[in-house]
Amino acid sequence: MTQKPNSKSAGRSRRLFPNGIRKYRKQSGLGQKHLAFLMGLKSVATLSRYENGIVTPSLENLAALEFALQVSYRLLYRDFATRIAAEVRRRREQLYRLSSPSNP
């Protein structure tokens, strides 16, 4: 027997990539249609998927977001940038320990 999906969650995708795109778009006074236009997107739906964290923008579209909103990707994807920075620091320390002359 298959279980019916909960009506509240049916059709709603899980937010995989939390971001501040919507926040900064609203602070800039732009609607989705205007921001999509500034970015050169063919569809407002693409921007909506970015805002909802369903997909991440390509490098080109991430650069367009930064220029259109005048906000760094580090602010748009703060959690992601923080996690990546911590991981690089951890690996740098590990590399330093492995290459240290006192390491047998």
pLDDT value at residue 103? 58
Q: How confident is the model at residue 17 (pLDDT cuts 50, 70, 90)?
A: confident
Q: How far apart are CA 43 and CA 47, in angstroms?
A: 7
pTM for the full predicted model: 0.73
Name every residue whose Cβ is closer than 8 Å to that of residue 57 and which is 6 or more positions away in sequence.
50, 64, 65
pLDDT value at residue 10? 43
Q: How far apart are CA 66 and CA 82, in angstroms?
A: 18
pLDDT value at residue 13? 52
- The mean pLDDT value for 11-27 works out to 83
- How wide is the angle at C-alpha 68 spanned by C-alphas 46 and 65, nearest 5°? 45
- How wide is the angle at C-alpha 101 spanned by C-alphas 98 and 104, nearest 5°? 70
pLDDT digits (tens, 9 = 90+) for 33-75: 999 999 999 999 999 999 999 999 999 999 999 999 999 999 9
For residue 92, pLDDT over 80 is answered with yes
- How wide is the angle at C-alpha 58 spanned by C-alphas 14 and 82, nearest 5°? 65
Q: Are 97 and 86 within 8 A, CB to CB? A: no
